[in-house]
Structure 1
Amino acid sequence: MSPFEYVSVLISIILGLGITVILTGLADIIKRWEMISMYWPYGVWMLIVFVLHIQEWWITYSLRAEMTWTLPLFLFIITYPIVLFVLAHLLFPQKWSKAGLDLKQHYLNNYRKYFGAALLLVVISILQNHFVLDYAIEEQLGQFFVAFVFLTLLALKQIPEKMHGALAILMLLLLGISFIFNPDELILK
Structure 2
Amino acid sequence: MKPFDYVSVLLSFVISLVFAQVLTGVSHMIQSGVRRLSIPLLYWISFVLFLCVDYWFSIWGLHDLKGWSFAYVSLLLVFAGLLFLVARAAVPEAASNDPIDLTALYDRDRRKIMVLFLLFSLCGLIVNLTLPGFATSELFAIAVAMMMLFAAAWRWADARAQLVIVVLHAVLMTYYAVRYEPLL
TM-score (norm 1): 0.88
Cα deviation for residue 74 of structure 1 reads: 0.4
- Tell me which of 170, 173, 183 is aligned to 1:175: 173
What is the distance in 2 between the residues matched to 1:139 and 1:184? 14
Identical residues among aligned pairs (%): 21
Aligned to 2:120: 121
Query: Deviation per CA, 1:117-164, whole angstroms, max 9, x where unpaired?
Result: 11111111111122454614564111111222323443x3x5211111
Q: Secondary structure at the match of 2:62?
A: helix
What is the distance in 1 between the residues matched to 2:22 and 2:97? 20
Using the TM superposition, name which of 169-178 and 19-28 deviates more.
169-178
- Tell me which of 163, 168, 171 is aligned to 1:165: 163
2:75 maps to 1:76: yes
Cα deviation for residue 75 of structure 1 reads: 0.3
Aligned to 1:47: 46
CA-atom RMSD, angstroms?
1.9
What is the distance in 1 between the residues matched to 2:9 and 2:122? 24
Query: Deviation per CA, 1:22-71, whole angstroms, max 9, x where unpaired?
Result: 001111111112x5322222111111111111110111111101111111
Sort the Cα spacing of 1:37 and 1:127 in 2 relative to 1 into closer, same or farther, 3 A. same
One-letter identity of the residue aligned with 1:159:
A
Cα pair 1:18 1:53 within 8 Å, conserved? yes
The aligned runs of 1:48-127 (5 Å cut-off) are: 48-127=47-126
What is the distance in 2 between the residues matched to 1:62 and 1:115? 27
Structure 1: gaps of 5 or more residues = none
Cα deviation for residue 99 of structure 1 reads: 3.5
What is the distance in 1 between the residues matched to 2:173 and 2:123? 17
Cα pair 2:19 2:52 within 8 Å, conserved? yes
Cα deviation for residue 19 of structure 1 reads: 0.2
Sort the Cα spacing of 1:40 and 1:19 in 2 relative to 1 into closer, same or farther, 3 A. same
Q: Secondary structure at the match of 1:65?
A: coil
Aligned residues: 183
Cα pair 2:129 2:135 within 8 Å, conserved? yes
Sort the Cα spacing of 1:122 and 1:20 in 2 relative to 1 into closer, same or farther, 3 A. same
Aligned to 1:8: 8
Aligned to 2:149: 149
What is the distance in 1 between the residues matched to 2:38 and 2:147? 24
